A and B are shown apart, each in its own frame.
Chain A
Amino acid sequence: MTMTILLPPTPSPMPEFQANGEDVIGAGSNLRTNSSILDDHATFAGGKAKESGLLEGEAARAYTESIKPLRQRADAMSLALRDASSHIIAHGEDLLDLEKRHTRLRTEREQLVREIDALKARGNPMPTSRAELDDLADDCERCTSRVNAYEDDLRRWASDLESSEQDVIAALRKAMDERQVEKNYDGKADPADTAKESMPSGKDPQAIKEWWDSLTEEQREAMTVAYPEIVGNTDGIPAADRSAANTIALDRDLAEIGAIPKDQRTEDEQTRYDNAKAADDARREIEKSKDPVAGEAYVPQIYVYDPMAFGGDGAVAMAVGDLDTADNVSVNVPGLTTEMSSAHGNAQSAINLQQAASFEGGTSTATMFWIGYDAPSGSDSGGVAGEGMAKAGGERLADTLDGLNAMRSDDFHLTAIGHSYGSTTVAHAMTDHHPDADDVVLLGSPGAGENADSAADLGVGKDHVFVGTNSQDLVGRLGQTGWVSPSAVGAGVLTGPIGGIIAQFGGAGLGDNPAEDDFGAVRFQAESTTRGSLPNIDDHVKYYDHDSESLSNMAHIVNGQYDQVSRAGHVYDPWYRTPDDPETDRSPTTPNTDGR
């Protein structure tokens, strides 16, 4: 009997693939930012530029006529460049996918070639037993099927590459010169305009989310480029989209104002530029930091970017990690002296917490610093003495937490962390507006606000209110213990007993000390090995330091590892003398928080 065994065919070689999707996306993003500058130009040409100051007569008419084509051209150019950049970015994403598939196919081919060589070796000399021949035939058939599947995948890969290339080439050729731009884009409706008209008028983040989801991809892309200030700062819009919009706004500010010689900038332009630089520094700090476990560089998400907010103090929030998908999300609210110029330091704190959370076993975390309220700083530093700025900030923070919850349809773990005056702000957000959060952390708190008599008032359950107070942190001693407010005592020292009594009953201070036993929160260890021997301000700014008790404990809280949080004894007020803090006598430890 004759038996024919067909060896599998040699798989076709892989074509060279010379491309870098990330670089292509970078090129597209660069063009997109510049399309936003053109969009601004069109807005100027169609708006402020119309008010020439020439009130009547031929010159006024001539001016009006002369700017019409400039406006039309600017509109067409912004649409054309936006369209081209979108296609380039999409092409870059295709290339990333094709790159992965190319690597997989190359590996598959190498395996197949090895397998075919092995099959050839098994057939030379040919086996004599029937069973061995059957096995060889079966294996050859199986391998042939794999080669055929490889060839199909390779054809599909080549076809997808060609299709993506043709698509981007066609898009670019639609706008290669002024004539084509005019022909293909002049008078074309901007998809951003219809999208903006349908935007809900209120600030309900759920309604915003539904509206955003209802837009086409083209409309979302158009909104992002044409209205980055809106997309970047509206609660309910997904973080990745907000970040794309804020990146455009930030890069545009740096480019536009950077082009104006420094001595020719207005005060507002300089403020905007300084704040943009601060945000850029924070972004770069995050980009150059790495996860201590995976070793991968962090990718920043710009969640808020409003450089002229609060009279030029600015607002910015940036996350280390992906706010749209992380299992554990924390929002970190700084306090006194915070404004946009301090973004870099706050970014470092967020990086430290993100690294610590990862090192302690957190596998999916996003840590955001949030300078989204007008904190006492500069000329309004006096605001630290009252709760007004914390109340207003608390409302904004609650909107942010509501926005995070609205943009996510899954159940994730959310922790609100406030440091210093930021802790009073967090407390007001929780007591006054009841946003949905799982845990609250108050660090170096000068008081939990007038509406929190106990941890239970924060609405997350007293076992989920965590307090970190270094025993020598001067600010951490400002909250009211027992029935006397230290602020009232201070007023009494300065103005006499009557002044002290008036201050006490007038509600002086920022509320109760949350580290006190009566408050009922979980106090965690937050001492420092460099702790002072007397109350001081240095111990107020060590909570986010690596290898500190507080950072380690915060990481456990953020990860939901409650059993691993090192508890500390509460402050106790015996009423007849100054309060006792059992942490004062404990030797601080240095838990490793980043593996170094």
Chain B
Amino acid sequence: MNLRIDSAKVPETAGGWDTEHLHLESASKDIEGTKTGGFTPNVKGVVADFVESWASLVRKAGQDGERTADDLREAALNIIRSDSETAGLADLYAKILAEQR
């Protein structure tokens, strides 16, 4: 059997992306909560726009990471399924790959 995936590494890396998603989601919320009250009126508006924009940018980066994790899992499962010698293990491996976070 010539397995074309490292069965332990895939869930670890996909899980890593999931964790990054959580970190970035949290960072996004934190950025969103940045207080602008201390700035002068000339600057306050620009800071508010910046904060709003960055909360969105960081959230998007997290979501892209999450999508990468999903794609990686899908790719690994497709490889397992496409090989007649490992296809029978696909359901079991899907459980191992299941998103934890």
Q: 9 shortest A-B CB distances, which residue pairs? A: A23-B38, A53-B9, A259-B26, A53-B10, A20-B38, A59-B75, A53-B6, A24-B38, A34-B27
Docked Cα-Cα span, A70 to B66, in Å, equals 12
14 A-B pairs with CB atoms under 8 Å apart are A30-B31, A37-B27, A38-B27, A38-B58, A40-B23, A44-B20, A51-B13, A54-B5, A70-B68, A84-B50, A176-B53, A177-B57, A255-B27, A264-B100
Chain B residues at the A interface, C-beta cutoff of 8 Å: 3-13, 16-17, 19-20, 22-27, 30-31, 33-43, 46-47, 49-50, 53-54, 57-58, 60-61, 64-65, 68, 71-72, 75-76, 78-79, 100-101
Q: Is the interface of A mostly helix, strand, loop or mixed?
A: helix
Docked Cα-Cα span, A55 to B5, in Å, equals 5
Contact in complex: A54, B50 (CB < 8 Å): no
Which chain B residues lie closer than 8 Å to A31 at the CB level?
31, 34, 54
Contact in complex: B4, A56 (CB < 8 Å): yes
**B42 CB to closest chain A CB, in angstroms?**
5
Contact in complex: A66, B4 (CB < 8 Å): no
Contact in complex: A52, B72 (CB < 8 Å): yes
Which chain A residues lie closer than 8 Å to B72 at the CB level?
52-54, 63
Contact in complex: B13, A52 (CB < 8 Å): yes
- Would you call A57 an interface residue if the criterion is a C-beta within 8 Å of the partner chain's C-beta atoms? yes
- Would you call A178 an interface residue if the criterion is a C-beta within 8 Å of the partner chain's C-beta atoms? yes
Contact in complex: A53, B53 (CB < 8 Å): no
A54-B76, A88-B47 known; 7 other A-B pairs, CB under 8 Å?
A37-B27, A44-B16, A53-B9, A55-B3, A55-B4, A57-B4, A59-B79
Docked Cα-Cα span, A370 to B60, in Å, equals 41
**A492 CB to closest chain B CB, in angstroms?**
56
**B24 CB to closest chain A CB, in angstroms?**
6
Least CB separation from A168: chain B residue: B43
Which chain A residues lie closer than 8 Å to B37 at the CB level?
20, 23
**B37 CB to closest chain A CB, in angstroms?**
6
Which chain A residues lie closer than 8 Å to B19 at the CB level?
260
Docked Cα-Cα span, A67 to B20, in Å, equals 13
Docked Cα-Cα span, A60 to B3, in Å, equals 13
Contact in complex: A37, B24 (CB < 8 Å): yes
Select one of B6, B20, B61, B100 contacting A73, CB under 8 A: B61
**B65 CB to closest chain A CB, in angstroms?**
7
- Would you call A192 an interface residue if the criterion is a C-beta within 8 Å of the partner chain's C-beta atoms? no
Docked Cα-Cα span, A520 to B75, in Å, equals 75
Given contacts A53-B10, A169-B43, contact A21 B23 (CB under 8 A): no
Which chain B residues lie closer than 8 Å to A21 at the CB level?
38
Least CB separation from A29: chain B residue: B34
